[in-house]
Structure 1
Amino acid sequence: MRIINPTFGLAAAGGAKVALKPVNWATDAIALVSNSKPNARELLSGIRDKLGAFRTVDNIDFLSKNSASQPAPKDLLQEVAAKYRGALLAIAD
């Protein structure tokens, strides 16, 4: 199991310090990631609607795992890290 602390990210190889800036939830790109359980997409859609009350939602995207019983594939994690400043994960039933 790989656990990622979203506050700090992954440590750089060799222990070099990485400068992180806080997520600006009002403007930054956000990934809404479903674990593919029932109602996860609906939960994330509601969150997106609520965010739309105070920000544009053009750069808020829905992503999902293939199966709730499997970990997120490496390419999905890499896409989130490369394209988004923040991510919200839905675990629903």
Structure 2
Amino acid sequence: MQLSAITVDEHDRLLAAAKAIFFRDRTYKRLVQLSISDGTRASEILVALRANTVNQKLQDAQLLIQAVIGTQDRRFVPRFNWKF
């Protein structure tokens, strides 16, 4: 399946289902089950979702690691003007 392969109505139903499901219970399979009644179409959409998934947390972590690696090491000893 290619991008723009779902209808506006399918998009709206998938989005509504995603908003209605607690994030820990939200899976592609569950979204499709709640949104698409035609079994064949549901299978097509599920395949497309799984094929085009993005692991945003992984991408964010990789960007953070690269930012840390690319940052100059500027260690310092903090000077406190107070005592316990």
| TM class by smaller structure | under 0.3
The structure showing larger relative contact order (alpha-carbon pairs under 8 Å, at least 6 residues apart) is 1
Structure number with higher strand proportion: 1
> Scaled by the length of structure 1, what TM-score is found?
0.23
> Scaled by the length of structure 2, what TM-score is found?
0.24
Structure number with higher helix proportion: 2
